[in-house]
Structure 1
Amino acid sequence: MNFLPNIIFACILAIGVGYFVKNVKKIIRNIKLGTAINRSDNSSARWKNMFLIALGQKKMFSRPIPALLHLIVYIGFIIINLELLEIVIDGLFGTHRIFSGLGSLYGFLIGSFEILAVLVLVAVFVFWIRRNVIKVNRFTNSELKGYASKDANTILYFEVVLMSLFLIMNATDIHFQQAENGNIISQYIHPFFNSFSITAIEIVENIAWWLHIIGILIFLNYLYFSKHLHIILAFPNTFFADLNAKGKLDNLASVTNEVKLMLDPTADPFAAPANPESASAKFGASDVQDLNWVQLLNAYTCTECGRCTSSCPANNTGKKLSPRKIMMDTRDRLEEVGKNIDANKGIFVPDGKSLLNDYITPEELWACTSCNACVEECPVSISPLSIIIDMRRYLVMEQSAAPMELNTVMTNIENNGAPWQYNQQDRLNWANES
């Protein structure tokens, strides 16, 4: 018996899975660069969110038509790749359709897979038309130029190739076609190969089989470089999402520590913090290391769908702010920091850059109205607003770089106890007006 194909298959599988695991470890390392935050409360609500939002795609259905198409692609791709288990066993042990012994159940599953494959092809075609012909506004923003735009189309092409290879593989499997158990779609493709010799058909089947599994492994590893990493990260991201009411802001630990210091009569007011460079001693965030790990997970999970930006009132009125760009910039800077650590043997060497100014400008941050529209619209529970707020805090409390109008308001509150500029003795004069 010739074991060479099995050995080659095992090597390809090991390389593909090994490279994927290596990149997953990088992602986990980069996310852990963020500051600590506790998201272990109310586990029942978190599990519910994960099943409804990540698995059930509940928030997608605010726009029913693209949601339905996306659901078809999502379910089709995930379910069809359940067949990957059979392919792996066949590849490692030299068997052929090892699960075909399940009889009618096997036929039902493969038949369902074939129908889903066709539906996926139709949905992908519609998505391609919307992105490249109709050119929906949220797919043409400036932040989607270059690689981001190519990435979206690359995934669509991947889907077409993988689904087509799956159907061709089934259509050219002579034994599968003769069994007439599950070949609901492929039976209509099979006649296209009638002019081929049996040997030629077997060659086509083998080529389609090998390309299908290699394509899946390439796709798996492409996820690390793609916005479609959300296929995996949407689940932890929705689980660890903020359960507080929208609009409720968290208290900064650094501010709390300062207040405690002020209230402690034994504390030395002139004592410097133990580590002034640590994120816990900083007010707000200027770089990715100052953000918490959930915010960094948000950045990696961003689908770049643009629903946040299309619903942003600031963006809709011509302001520079794009919540999608905030997430993409955060991810790009995090990747840059990660590569710095890799190049310097596990240690980050200051590179003179930061998320603030080098990637995100104060103009973008101050354009935000804090309305939470972006958070409400995100289909995977990402919060661009939390990053914006933390970077604003840094501008105000570390750099005193708030806009003039805001500085005026804060000065009035400090001096007059109100946002308006008038004497405190005149505050109740309105009550005397007839």
Structure 2
Amino acid sequence: MLNSVIVVDDEAPIREAVEQWLTLSGFSVQVYSRAQDCLENLPEHFPGVVLSDVRMPDMNGLALLSHLQSLDADLPVILLTGHGDVPMAVDAMRDGAYDFLEKPFTPQTLLSSLRRALEKRSLVLENRRLHERADARTRLDATLIGQSAGMQTLRRQVLDLATLPVNVVIRGETGSGKELVARCLHDFGPRAGKPFVALNCAAIPEQLFEAELFGHETGAFTGAQGKRIGKLEYADGGTLFLDEIESMPLAQQVKLLRVIQDRRLERLGSNQSITVDLRIIAATKPDLLEEARAGRFREDLAYRLNVAELRLPPLRERREDVPSLFSHFAQVAAQRLGRSTPVLDGAQLSHLLSHDWPGNVRELANAAERHVLGLDAPHAIEAQAGQSLAAQQEAFEAHCLRSALARHKGDIKAVLNELQLPRRTLNEKMQRHGLLRETFVD
């Protein structure tokens, strides 16, 4: 149950008395003498109720109500009125005020009104949270593509971790999409409006690594022309993505650990300590703890980074996602290149499904682009062992259903006619493959 209350009243005795009553009753109370102060300090999605006097200088309670409604139409506002203000307060309730209390009022009357308002506020915020999560899930489905069990698990984990203030390690093979997952953790969390800064640790020469990470002042070393903001400082408020973290020099690992612990850094050539607030997402192919046991990575840093770990399944472990991914990449490439999207035949699809994709999603995207350009058809990919006939049949069936739904923009009747299936059979197959009609509606 929510328990936050903002009290706005220009009379100090009333503010103090109401604050005391509410605090003793278990509420979290903020008090302001001016309506403007309330507006300037009101947090977004404030989890509580505003209690305001009507008659105040500069901005009265009715004007405050209007401003608050423009910020959040569902925020409960309770007005405190004198006897002569009752008709005005009744009009205010028609305009959206939750309740009004005529002075003098008893503590019990105030508490009763507040608890009802807070209960309503709790339901509104929970409903918003559910809608936002459903919207985020839809957007994430369109970003991290695939209906395999591994991808469904990954999307759930990303949504859960995106909102948590913890560092994350993403493990996956080369080309499996680690940076895309890191970007989703940033974009679907509270830091979305702040910088997302990516640094590939394997691409920076060791002698330049510290300057790249921490920045430098003018003349800090030979060639240091002017002041430069480092990646850590530039990511302040947002997310720093460290790709191939296992390649970070041991000397810099010590300094990164200190930044994580103290949330402060110093640029090269400076004695000034700078506070930073950032989330670190690291990507690695090997297990960092195994690297630490082998003496190639600091164990204390590994634990600091690996508060949570996400594992990206390689493409060969989720072959049923290959058709939808290939189709997506082909459509993107066709749009960018001004070409039409070629339709795959059965033989081409079979070769796509039987290939092991050692380069993972990156290799698949390249194959899709070459297919659009007519440079390298999918059947040119050498078929490899590793997938059962039943699995290939399942993937082919999913591709056929998906293609038909896309062609007919979700028109179930047209799909039934084309595939010559009973309605019940189509429903069962769509459910088994995780296909929703709404996804294909134009």
Structure having the larger proportion of residues in helix: 1
Q: TM-score, normalised by structure 1?
A: 0.27
Q: TM-score, normalised by structure 2?
A: 0.27
Q: Which has the larger radius of gyration?
A: 2
